[in-house]
Structure 1
């Protein structure tokens, strides 16, 4: 969480005050006789503190490269290199720490002091340099080269440090620290002070989450230099306090790196997911949850109602003669009217009710926690009374009337979609009859008979050869060339004629017939693709949809492999399309997808953005492509939320190195928008409707270098 600037200053001031108080107390303790208790164990404490400091530096190096990403920041690479180098000097400082004097005591050696001082100089100069150069992303360097270069730099600096250059003053004179030692560490302290100022102003400007911890670490290094400047003897407690202060600084540096590498990206990912989820599940004009959210919530309400033995009511509301309002006031004013209506419904809703916006001038209220239809009817009539008062927009009053259609679960339907559809049917019936309120009337027996007959016909259709495939081209937006095709099943009924897939596919899913039908589609698509390849046409990838039942089938992989072997089609020319909801059982889905990928078949997620979405799962899925649902593409030029969703999905896919295909492209404006978003491929009626294999061959295969559309 970001803190305000005033709070930031308080934290920095508090850190400075605490550091100063500790410094004053330690100097008082140093001058007291009780400090002899510490001095007697001084070498051991110095060794322990030194090894802790070296371990902390190496820990910073390991942590910085532990979390791999395709890109690293320059700051992160430089910090990694810097603290590996400082850690090596800290290690040598402790290894060379002690030399024995004639009375048997252990004191710090000249060479050890050199290593400690050299490490401090490198750390101070490095921090100041890192946070004054411009930040940018760089390619991921090889760990071996990075480590080798750092180690080579250390060897060079160490070799120079151990030389006894004539004329250079010593850091140690007998058992006293020299004036040169004090000067060096005073200058280093000045560098740390400048770095602290630079960091504070960067923190004030950028609000980066890692900068506070880096600043606290730099202040700790600054206090370490204060201790060392105040030291006079080789066994001075100030040397120990300085080393301990450095350890605290390394801790803060490590925490800052963790924030930069782990916490901040995670929070950004969470924010992106939340924003994308909000856009996908809320209506733009009213800000109310939309149809996607309605289906989810209605399913939850129905499950709860079954347990509690309650009813669930769905009211579909429509503003009468809204087109007249829109035509007379204009779209912007009409949108404000819709917003006012949505807010009035929302604010007057009961705890057991939820309000949704379906777009245009339709709203839905989902009601629960009641046991009789009379209760629902009374509540619905009270909702109608809400609009006896006019709606105020731009200082003008508008008297509105509503039409309401009602459907009640479980009497009027068994699924969210069925209940919503039946309530919508009741609304249209009410408008036809000039009623304000209408309850859905059952015609269940006839409908059930028709459904049963259709299911029986469906069972015979596959054996009687009534199914056939049509193909829709997939076009590369950069070149305009056809690069793939989607196979779509159709049913030619002998009496009813062509039956819509929207009618027979759900029935096939529920009855289990989708599994043999899906296998037939896969076999025919692979067979046709192989025929075209043997005819000498350029090889294209054919996409086939997998149903939920197919995907969960235990023999799916064997079926795919068997069909590929039977038809002779290479796996690289087949792409299987799944939906997001199939990945809800994460472990099972990942294993199934992994096996499919291993045999060389491509995988795409169809209708992306309309189902169960999680960036956390998506980044690990073994997939090749995202297909943006046509519901987002259709109104991409009119609905900024849909445009934002398409842009977000495309950008995210690029970062995850996935291809993107947009479905439902119907006009030039949509095509231009998708190109601007760097969408890879598209399909839709703008290029071609689904057509028979012979027509596809004539139009798209015999002249494959001709741009489509």
Structure 2
């Protein structure tokens, strides 16, 4: 039994024992009853209850107003009214001048009864249902309704009591009050029963605290009912029990609606990070994690030129496809796990192992004294597989090929180092050798890269760039609701150059800024031309590079372009990446200035960066775009499916749109629809096409209603 469950049972036992003890020692207690003393003590306890009630109200109205939930908002409104009734009851019952002259002691007791009835029914209704987030905009409406009900109820209790007393007498009213008191006690106990109903899921610690509050409310109500005797000491103990209940309810509501959702968000963030950076089959850190680690090594190396060598090893199981085909995928998965375990058991200090997906693994060695030392260690790793691997169907001899890149020397960036090691392992397999270290001849030579950069500098003035457009489809209606503008380079000699080849060069050289501005202007101009031609307006999505995003006058440039073209900003969606938000203050300032223009903002490739969910909820964005790497294997990889599901659910809670990239088949589309993803784009709908083809295939004329 959990600790909170034990506390709840103990609270019920303690409450029952205290009540019995008070009844047993009723005579000694009645001997110390002194009117002035009791009134002062009653006033003190009543004021404490009012303070607790106000704290419950303030928790929903004044504090944490950006994290409202129905339970906390409605509880706040409920106890706003309860507070007012308790305040009037306490002052009038204690005989405070100015209040007691307007509200008689009998009316005061009816105020108390009505207060307890409202709290009993309110708690029963609020906490017997599943809690849900609620818009902050609805807060004033709830409290306006609450104030109206409070005024009507207050007038109804006081005036109806006076009228009833004149017509039917106080005896009939006393009987009615006793019936209502019994009903209040019943509702409190019913609330306990419904919340702890065994058919429901396991109760959280906060709900158990609320149950304890109901127990003390019920005990206080028993005192107010005077079942065994008549005396003001009963009301004193009743108020004391209510005070304990108020405190417990304040604690329970805070934990249920603020603390627990906060911890759930933390757990969701941790799960997303784990799924995004670990391989499900082997449990090893994956390629994304290796990329992050490699970037750390490069950054440290740029600052400290005296650090040792770091070796990036990529290992590939030879003939793994044959093993899969002959023994089955289960045996193949088992083999991958055994390879990971065998190498993982040999990891030493300053060494790390990663899964690169499929039959490929990475091994990182840092702080080495020389290249020769790295080669010796690589050979030792390959020797681990001289012993056969035992599978269910028998023992099998396997071998691995290994490619290696060394930092510094074989790459200046994390991506280069990993890519060069990967190139080396494929070269080793082609050459039929165990180990190959990367050499420049294996990839494009530096001279060719330099030549490509020079050609890139003249591509703009030579009009070698053009845009293609990929449609974005709303999944509910299958209607084209947007398009993404993508850059292409038609080189006069090389032909079409892949963006993968020239975009990194443009980024490093700074050419991405004028190129990005050309893309923005061209895409907006094309969109405006289509609108002028009478087509239904849709939004165009344009990618921003890091260098563009960091420009201090970016909003001014974009505003000038849109004004010159005459395009409404609501038809432009700027796509940024998570890495652009690492500097939170700069990013928030830039995004706020862009949002003031009326633009839409999307986070592209969401799930592959490093942004925190804590900052995401405050970021002025409109949409998350799920990276194609998650979508492409969503039907084969449960990790990717979990990531897509988690991101989509989180986006719905944050009131953001979700667009999935890289949708290639109907199975992926069906999965995304099940997750309530809003939009999608990918080859299933269309590959990126030129403007003329996009116009013909996807744009629809704007239907104008005839004027009256």
- Superposed, which structure 2 residues align to 1:9-408 within 5 Å? 9-19=5-15, 41-65=37-61, 73=70, 79-80=75-76, 82-99=78-95, 109-124=105-120, 126-127=122-123, 135=130, 142-143=141-142, 144-163=144-163, 164=165, 192-193=188-189, 195-201=191-197, 205-225=201-221, 227-228=223-224, 229=226, 236=233, 238-304=234-300, 307=304, 309-394=307-392, 396-408=394-406
Q: Please give the root-mean-square deviation of Cα atoms over the aligned residues, in Å.
A: 3.6
Please state how far the C-alpha of 1:301 moved relative to its aligned partner. Answer: 3.6
SS of 1:357's equivalent?
strand
Aligned to 1:105: none
- Superposed, which structure 2 residues align to 1:554-593 within 5 Å? 554-593=552-591
Quote the Cα distance in structure 2 between the aligned partners of 1:703 and 1:124: 60
Aligned to 2:100: none
Quote the Cα distance in structure 2 between the aligned partners of 1:693 and 1:192: 68
Aligned to 2:487: 489
Residues 203 and 212, structure 1, Cα contact 8 Å, conserved in 2: no
Aligned to 1:104: none
Deviation sequence 1:536-593 (CA, Å, 0-9, x none): 3332322211100000101111110111122222222222111111122222212212
Deviates more, 1:180-189 or 1:601-610: 180-189
Residues 5 and 208, structure 2, Cα contact 8 Å, conserved in 1: no
Provide the TM-score with structure 1 as the length reference: 0.87
SS of 1:14's equivalent?
helix
SS of 1:508's equivalent?
helix
Deviates more, 1:358-367 or 1:607-616: 607-616
Deviates more, 1:159-168 or 1:323-332: 159-168
SS of 1:206's equivalent?
coil
- Aligned length, in residue pairs: 688
Please state how far the C-alpha of 1:167 moved relative to its aligned partner. Answer: 5.9
Which of these residues, 663, 666, 674, is aligned with residue 665 of structure 1? Answer: 663
Quote the Cα distance in structure 1 between the aligned partners of 2:313 and 2:18: 69
Residues 534 and 702, structure 2, Cα contact 8 Å, conserved in 1: no
Residues 423 and 442, structure 2, Cα contact 8 Å, conserved in 1: no
Quote the Cα distance in structure 1 between the aligned partners of 2:202 and 2:276: 30
Deviation sequence 1:287-306 (CA, Å, 0-9, x none): 22211111112222444455
Deviates more, 1:122-131 or 1:45-54: 122-131
Quote the Cα distance in structure 2 between the aligned partners of 1:680 and 1:126: 37
The answer as to 2:445 corresponding to 1:452 is no
Quote the Cα distance in structure 2 between the aligned partners of 1:309 and 1:204: 59
Q: Tell me, which stretches of 5 or more residues in structure 2 are unaligned? A: 98-103, 704-708
Residues 403 and 426, structure 2, Cα contact 8 Å, conserved in 1: yes
Quote the Cα distance in structure 1 between the aligned partners of 2:584 and 2:323: 48
Please state how far the C-alpha of 1:519 moved relative to its aligned partner. Answer: 0.9
Deviates more, 1:525-534 or 1:16-25: 16-25
Aligned to 2:434: 436
- Superposed, which structure 2 residues align to 1:614-629 within 5 Å? 614-629=612-627
Quote the Cα distance in structure 2 between the aligned partners of 1:446 and 1:325: 33
SS of 1:575's equivalent?
strand
Quote the Cα distance in structure 2 between the aligned partners of 1:479 and 1:198: 41
Please state how far the C-alpha of 1:130 moved relative to its aligned partner. Answer: 5.5
Deviation sequence 1:401-443 (CA, Å, 0-9, x none): 1111111211211221111111112212222232222222345
Quote the Cα distance in structure 2 between the aligned partners of 1:38 and 1:508: 89
SS of 1:645's equivalent?
helix
Relative distance call for 1:138 and 1:473 in structure 2 (3 A) is closer
Residues 481 and 704, structure 1, Cα contact 8 Å, conserved in 2: no
Deviation sequence 1:292-322 (CA, Å, 0-9, x none): 1111122224444554712222111111111
Quote the Cα distance in structure 1 between the aligned partners of 2:134 and 2:443: 67
Aligned to 1:697: 695
Quote the Cα distance in structure 1 between the aligned partners of 2:307 and 2:291: 20
Provide the TM-score with structure 2 as the length reference: 0.87
- Superposed, which structure 2 residues align to 1:641-660 within 5 Å? 641-660=639-658
Relative distance call for 1:196 and 1:404 in structure 2 (3 A) is same
Residues 302 and 312, structure 1, Cα contact 8 Å, conserved in 2: no
Please state how far the C-alpha of 1:157 moved relative to its aligned partner. Answer: 2.6
Please state how far the C-alpha of 1:698 moved relative to its aligned partner. Answer: 3.7
Quote the Cα distance in structure 2 between the aligned partners of 1:632 and 1:124: 49
Residues 203 and 211, structure 1, Cα contact 8 Å, conserved in 2: no
Quote the Cα distance in structure 2 between the aligned partners of 1:592 and 1:100: 59
